Structure 1
């Protein structure tokens, strides 16, 4: 009851004051007119107390309960008084005003006939002070005034609701714009880092490999000029990435949620409490963004649709998951249907192997729960790497790229095979990143010596050459993997980790060369037809087959030794070639005719 009173507006207090004044004057008049306190007096007195209190309490529950109680108790009291004091029929006029002012929705269809017609006819017969028509007109006029006051109150409430909703929507739009901008800047920063930045590095490494093939002074000068231009471009990209990254929101999860709550409360009259349970730990940006969106969508819906006045937010840091609960005291719904925002939220959580649940019941508000698994960064064993290449800038470029990975440690840079063997004698590395074409002892021979002396050392060939004979020789000499220098950095990182774990890693480009070299069995006719029809490459068909099995991008990336972003790019290319929009349409179009 106290919570309801706290939500009253000025007109609610005005109606209560009017009711108190009317009831007080009624009691005083009764005491003044009664010469002695007879039984009829006490009946009217008790009846008056009930007619004041009972309808008012019923009004706090539901307006229909109030109308029934007011008509029966207050209307009956007026009829009783009219039988005792004929002039007391005027006491029904204030009651008529209150009945009309609380006839919400379509209740006036039955409250008006009873109040304006039935009761006045009965009063005219009991009091005999005024004919029924005149009494109906007078009471009807008061009922009209009361209903006009009701419309004024409704209009004021609707204006307040619209104003609050507009404020909430403006705040929501502002938050959406801000978060969308942050997401886009983060995506752009990553794309530039993974594409343009690494492309410049690959170009620089490629230009360095051409030095041995250019024997003229003009050629050397042109390569130096191209290298200078490329390095300047790479520096510009790095500066831009730093500028973009510096504007990212560096707040922790709790701080970002608290800021959202504070901003929301400044635009609305809703009381919001944020509580945390458990020891806080670091979560990924994707998880933080998902929880932020969940809270944003939940509190907005609670105010817009649930008309909530209080929201309790609980953030639980658990051992295996992190959970966000948003409970409001709004209207609730028996059948809560998820709109676009909630469906998008479910998809976000699903991409992180999380879940979003909704519970709502009329009169009990709505509970939204978003739970995400605790995806801690797995700190792998530090991989000690030896870089072997006769080109200094390639060694330096590889060192710069690899040192960005927290689990990689560059223990040395060797310029030829003899230098590499000497390094292995002093401090055996976990993985040797070996170039093939080097003066003196080449990569294949160096690999053979290292594997004979130190079988536990993994050797990963990294070269610009993809001739089958060189690849076969290196693999026969014990190489644990074979990659090209044109390999994307993320694939190079994963290749080093896989080789360190004992997995044989051979780039698909080399595999295709070996297959062609040894004239292995060609692809099936059905696959050839699909390639000819849609223009899909073997790698794209391989990814499409994984998609048809319901595998996620991360699972496909792990199976094919690719990065998550590379698989997503492949999927986008496949959808574009097939002219479809999603996984299901792609599988149906590509395999529907063959299944």
Structure 2
């Protein structure tokens, strides 16, 4: 889409350049050398060169000054030529009118009536008839309207390109967010299954071993052979129990991942999918934190990242985790748009509730220049947050 936008800029610029070069060639070939000819040449070159000092495709974009100088220099040359009887019917201001219409802004909307009045003004000083002035004025208006229409198309393409880029960024966010939800869902399911297997299958195997022990002790017929076979079954059962325990421990490994490892994984994934610059700072010694608490902290960090990119249009994010003996402080800063009035919608309310349920504090504030800062402080003392080894030996 950008190529189309550039093409329109350069197309209008090329048409204007062609117009002035053609007019200059006409003056040079149609007149003998004289001081008047020299003045006309200098005047025409000034009308061509000086305005492009303020607007040049992709380099200079001061449209207001370009239009003003175009009217003063090019418009005055047009009026002077239009008033001369020998140029009647051969003088036009169509391409400059097209250019002015293309570059028109709200501040320069007054130039359209000026374009309409230029031919009529010439009637006061030259041999210009009403019909000729009306025709020239209509042509100027038509071409300025075409320029406005072309500009509208250029803006439409630009906005479409911008919207497509935003949609692409949102799709990346949604993809990353969906992948994280899927991973978290799988993690929770693995944790549930591992606990279920430990409580059910483990108990069944232990009961089986106890039953076999009783059977071995009660066997009277051919006790030697029976005991030999039962001992073999018992050994196999014990082996199966050990294998089941290994599976349970492997399934529960994701649950035992540290908070820092989880945060680093989230940062790397978010950086990869969105292209956002994220800097992670770790201070202090990490504490072992229960699974549920880690999940709440990760969710808050994830939502902060998403808000920074979605609402703040941030390109850089600073994430800091500070571990102290009694608290964990999480700070997320971004360089996005200036933060206006803070309204606690669903996302911020959910983040605040998550932290307050852990006994902590949540705040969001604007930075000194631009962007926003999310700050959370969570206590790490007591049974509420400290992770304790509560598993019972099997």
**TM bin (shorter chain):** 0.5 to 0.7
- Match of residue 281 from structure 2: 275
* Cα distance in 2 for residues equivalent to 1:95 and 1:363: 37
- Match of residue 289 from structure 2: 284
Residue number among 138, 158, 165 corresponding to 1:160 in the alignment: 165
* Cα distance in 1 for residues equivalent to 2:171 and 2:302: 16
Q: Classify 1:35/1:147 alpha carbon distance in 2 versus 1 (closer, same or farther; 3 Å).
A: same
- Match of residue 120 from structure 1: 115
Deviations 1:248-276 (A, max 9, x none): 16654333323222222322232222233
- Match of residue 365 from structure 1: 371
* Cα distance in 1 for residues equivalent to 2:100 and 2:368: 32
Report if aligned partners of 1:23, 1:48 keep a CA contact under 8 Å in 2: no
* Cα distance in 2 for residues equivalent to 1:323 and 1:406: 24
Equivalent position SS for 2:318: strand
The aligned runs of 1:491-502 (5 Å cut-off) are none
* Cα distance in 2 for residues equivalent to 1:47 and 1:207: 102
Report if aligned partners of 1:200, 1:233 keep a CA contact under 8 Å in 2: no
- Match of residue 309 from structure 2: 303
- Match of residue 185 from structure 2: 180
Moved more, 199-208 or 348-357: 199-208
Deviations 1:341-385 (A, max 9, x none): 44333333233222332224898233222322234999xxxxxxx
Q: Classify 1:143/1:309 alpha carbon distance in 2 versus 1 (closer, same or farther; 3 Å).
A: same
* Cα distance in 2 for residues equivalent to 1:14 and 1:355: 54
- Match of residue 84 from structure 2: none
* Cα distance in 1 for residues equivalent to 2:136 and 2:53: 30
Find out whether 1:91 has 2:69 as its counterpart.
no
Equivalent position SS for 1:316: strand
Residue number among 122, 143, 147 corresponding to 1:138 in the alignment: 143
Residue number among 313, 319, 328 corresponding to 1:313 in the alignment: 319
- Match of residue 129 from structure 2: none
Residue number among 124, 147, 150 corresponding to 2:152 in the alignment: 147
Matched positions, count:
341
Find out whether 1:354 has 2:360 as its counterpart.
yes
How far apart are residue 35 of structure 1 and its match? Answer: 3.9
Q: Classify 1:406/1:315 alpha carbon distance in 2 versus 1 (closer, same or farther; 3 Å).
A: closer
Q: Classify 1:18/1:358 alpha carbon distance in 2 versus 1 (closer, same or farther; 3 Å).
A: farther
How far apart are residue 319 of structure 1 and its match? Answer: 4.6
Find out whether 1:79 has 2:71 as its counterpart.
yes
Instruction: Flag the structure with more relative contact order, 1 or 2, with Cα contacts below 8 A and sequence separation at least 6.
Output: 2
Structure 1: 5+ residue stretches without partners: 1-7, 60-65, 104-109, 379-404, 408-488, 491-595
TM-score for the superposition, normalised by structure 2: 0.64
Equivalent position SS for 1:131: helix
RMSD (CA atoms): 5.2
Structure 2: 5+ residue stretches without partners: 29-36, 82-91, 124-132, 221-225
Residue number among 167, 174, 194 corresponding to 1:189 in the alignment: 194
